[in-house]
C-alpha cells in the first residue's frame, strides 16, 4: 500500500488518469481514424457512462506491482493481475459517477488541504512531499486525481453507507461479553470469495458453487492459497493473497465466527455460504492479546491571562508577574484565579482543572505541567492561549481498561458493520451497472465476455 495514502487500508486502489489526459484521449478517439486512435490509446472497458483506457490500466498495473513488490507479496500472473486491476478501476469509476450524480463534489481546496495534511503527517512540507512522490516514480498530477477520487468515494460512502449504521450500548455490552469468553485471541485469516451477484438465477449460483468446490478441492490437495486467491478470488483483498489481516475473535465476520475459532493454524475450513457468495478460509496464524490499560493523570490548576482591549501584551505580562509574586507572598491561589483568570471554564473553580490526562493539554502547557513537582507553583510562562501560572496538586495512574475497551468495541462494531454494508452496497452498484470489457477473452463478473 502506498505509504502516502490517506487511509490505512482503503477499500480499493484509485488509479485514474488526470482529467486533462482523459479529455485529450477522448478528443483523439472521436476525431481520428479508428486505426490511428487504436495506436494511440484504446478502450479496455466501459463502466456505466464512462470508459477506461489502456493507458489508465497500464498505469494502475504498474502502481499495483510497485506496491506488491514493496510489501514482498507474490506477483500474480499478468492476465490475473490485469483482470483484478481492471475490476478495481471499474468499481472506482462507478462510484465516482454515483457521487457526481448525487451532487457530491471535491474542489481544489479540498485536495490542497489533504495534500498538506499528508505532507505534515510524513514530516515534510509540500515541495518536499512532491519530490518524495517523484522519487518513488509517482506522477504528482496522477496522485492528485487519485486523491480526489478517494475523497469523493469516502464522502459517497459516508452518505450512502456509514450514516445508516448504528451501534447501541447493548451491542457493545454483548460484544464485550463475547470478548471475555474469547480470552483475547486474534486470528490472521486468508479468504477466497467466489462472488454471486445479487438476484442471480439458480443455475448461475450453482455454477459458482461448483467453482468454489473445485477450488477447495485443489487447496486440500496442496495448492498455494495466496496464489489461488490472487488468481480466483473476487474479494477486495485478492491481490494481497486474500489476507484479511489480524482480527480479534469477537470481531470475526459472522460468516467465519462459528468456524475459525475451532480451526488450527494452517487449516482450511469447509465451504461457507453467504449473501455475497461462497467463501473458503484458511487460518494463517493465531495470537493472544489483551493488556491492562493505565493512563497517567494530573490534578492541576492555573491562572490564565490574555491581552484584551483594555490590557495590552506588555500590561498582561506585567500583571501575571504581579500575580505570581502575590502567590509567593501567601495570597490564596484560588482567590486570585477567581478574580483575574481569563479561563471561563476554570476561573469560577479557583483555576481548578480537575483530573486530566496531560495529553489533553496544549503542548507548551503540557510540557510545563509535566516538569513541575507537586504543590510547586510555576513561574509565569507563555502558552498557546496566553500567560499562565500553574500548580500541580497531585498525580495518579488510573485504570482505563474498561473505558478503552468500550470505546474500542464500539469502534470495531461500527467498522465491521459499515464494511459489511459497504460490500453489499458495492455489489448492488456493480450488479445494476452497464459494464463491458473490451479485452478479448476477458469476462466480466456478470459472466458476459467483452470483445
| Each residue's pLDDT tens digit, 143-178 | 898 899 999 999 999 899 988 889 898 988 887 777
The grid coordinates listed for 394 are: 497531585
Q: Is pLDDT at 191 greater than 70 in this prediction?
A: yes
Q: Are residues 142 and 153 in the same domain?
A: yes
pLDDT digits (tens, 9 = 90+) for 105-151: 888 888 988 898 888 888 888 899 999 888 887 888 888 988 999 99
Q: Is pLDDT at 249 greater than 60 in this prediction?
A: yes
Q: Are residues 228 and 114 in the same domain?
A: no
pLDDT of 383: 85
Q: Are residues 380 and 234 in the same domain?
A: no
Does 365 fall in a domain? Answer: yes
The grid coordinates listed for 409 are: 468495541
Of 127, 160, 193, which residue sits at a domain end? 160
Residue 447 pLDDT grade (very low, low, confident, very high; cuts 50, 70, 90): very low
User: To which residue does cell 496522485 refer?
Assistant: 143
CATH of the domain at 332: 3.10.50.40
The grid coordinates listed for 169 are: 450500548
pLDDT of 445: 45
- What is the rounded average pLDDT for all residues in the chain? 82
Q: Is pLDDT at 38 greater than 60 in this prediction?
A: no
Does 298 fall in a domain? Answer: yes
Range of the domain at 372: 294-399
pTM given for the model: 0.53
pLDDT of 180: 62
Q: Are residues 251 and 365 in the same domain?
A: no
pLDDT of 257: 84
Give me the mean pLDDT over the 421-431 stretch.
90
pLDDT of 27: 28
Give me the mean pLDDT over the 371-398 stretch.
92
Q: How many domains does one find in the chain?
A: 3
Dist CA 29 CA 41 (whole Å): 8
Give me the mean pLDDT over the 198-225 stretch.
90
Q: For the chain, what percent of residues have pLDDT higher than 70? A: 86
pLDDT of 179: 65
Does 177 fall in a domain? Answer: yes
Q: Is pLDDT at 261 greater than 60 in this prediction?
A: yes
Q: At what angle do helices 202-220 and 225-232 cross, to 10 degrees?
A: 160
Q: Are residues 416 and 428 in the same domain?
A: yes
pLDDT digits (tens, 9 = 90+) for 308-363: 888 998 999 999 999 999 999 999 999 999 999 999 889 999 999 999 888 888 88
Give me the mean pLDDT over the 225-253 stretch.
87
Report whether 35 contacts 29 (CB < 8 A).
no
Of 352, 382, 399, which residue sits at a domain end? 399
Residue 391 pLDDT grade (very low, low, confident, very high; cuts 50, 70, 90): very high
Q: Is pLDDT at 291 greater than 60 in this prediction?
A: no
Q: Is pLDDT at 364 greater than 90 in this prediction?
A: no
Amino acid at each position: 500500500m502506498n505509504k502516502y495514502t490517506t487511509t490505512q487500508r482503503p477499500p480499493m486502489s484509485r488509479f485514474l488518469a488526470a482529467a486533462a489526459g482523459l479529455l485529450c484521449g477522448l478528443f483523439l478517439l472521436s476525431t481520428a481514424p479508428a486505426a490511428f486512435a487504436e495506436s494511440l490509446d484504446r478502450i479496455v472497458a466501459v463502466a456505466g457512462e464512462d470508459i477506461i483506457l489502456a493507458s489508465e490500466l497500464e498505469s494502475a498495473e504498474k502502481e499495483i506491482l510497485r506496491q506488491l513488490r514493496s510489501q514482498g507479496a507474490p506477483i500474480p500472473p499478468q492476465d490475473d493481475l490485469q483482470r483484478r486491476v481492471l475490476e478495481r478501476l471499474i468499481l472506482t469509476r462507478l462510484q465516482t459517477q454515483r457521487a457526481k450524480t448525487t451532487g457530491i463534489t471535491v474542489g481544489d481546496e479540498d485536495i490542497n488541504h489533504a495534500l498538506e495534511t499528508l505532507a505534515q503527517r510524513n514530516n515534510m512540507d509540500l515541495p518536499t512531499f512532491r519530490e518524495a512522490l517523484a522519487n518513488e516514480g509517482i506522477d504528482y498530477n496522477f496522485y492528485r486525481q487519485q486523491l480526489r477520487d478517494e475523497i469523493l468515494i469516502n464522502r459517497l460512502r459516508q452518505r450512502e453507507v456509514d450514516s445508516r449504521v448504528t451501534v447501541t450500548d447493548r451491542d457493545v455490552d454483548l460484544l464485550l461479553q463475547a470478548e471475555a469468553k474469547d480470552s483475547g485471541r486474534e486470528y490472521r485469516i486468508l479468504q477466497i470469495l467466489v462472488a454471486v451477484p445479487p438476484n442471480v438465477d439458480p443455475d448461475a449460483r450453482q455454477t459458482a458453487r461448483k467453482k468454489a468446490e473445485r477450488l477447495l478441492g485443489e487447496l486440500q490437495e496442496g495448492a498455494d492459497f495466496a496464489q489461488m486467491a490472487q488468481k480466483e478470488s473476487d474479494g477486495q483483498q485478492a491481490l494481497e493473497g486474500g489476507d484479511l489481516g489480524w482480527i480479534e475473535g469477537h470481531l470475526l465476520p459472522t460468516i467465519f465466527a462459528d468456524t475459525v475459532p475451532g480451526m488450527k493454524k494452517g487449516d482450511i475450513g469447509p465451504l461457507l455460504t453467504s449473501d455475497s457468495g461462497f467463501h473458503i478460509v484458511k487460518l494463517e496464524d493465531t495470537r493472544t492479546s489483551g493488556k491492562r490499560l493505565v493512563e497517567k493523570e494530573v490534578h492541576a490548576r492555573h491562572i490564565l491571562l490574555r491581552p484584551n482591549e483594555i490590557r495590552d501584551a506588555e500590561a498582561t505580562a506585567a500583571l501575571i508577574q504581579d500575580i505570581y509574586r502575590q502567590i509567593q507572598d501567601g495570597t490564596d491561589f484560588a482567590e486570585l484565579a477567581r478574580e483575574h483568570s481569563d479561563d471561563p471554564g476554570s476561573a469560577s473553580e479557583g483555576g481548578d482543572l480537575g483530573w486530566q490526562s496531560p495529553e489533553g493539554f496544549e503542548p507548551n502547557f503540557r510540557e510545563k505541567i509535566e516538569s513541575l513537582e507537586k504543590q510547586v507553583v510555576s513561574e509565569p510562562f507563555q502558552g498557546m492561549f496566553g500567560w499562565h501560572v500553574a500548580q500541580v496538586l497531585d498525580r495518579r495512574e488510573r485504570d482505563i481498561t474498561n473505558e478503552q475497551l468500550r470505546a474500542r468495541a464500539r469502534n470495531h462494531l461500527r467498522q465491521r458493520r459499515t464494511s459489511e454494508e459497504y460490500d453489499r452496497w458495492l455489489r448492488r452498484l456493480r450488479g445494476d451497472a452497464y459494464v463491458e470489457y473490451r479485452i478479448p477473452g476477458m469476462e466480466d463478473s456478470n459472466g458476459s465476455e467483452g470483445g
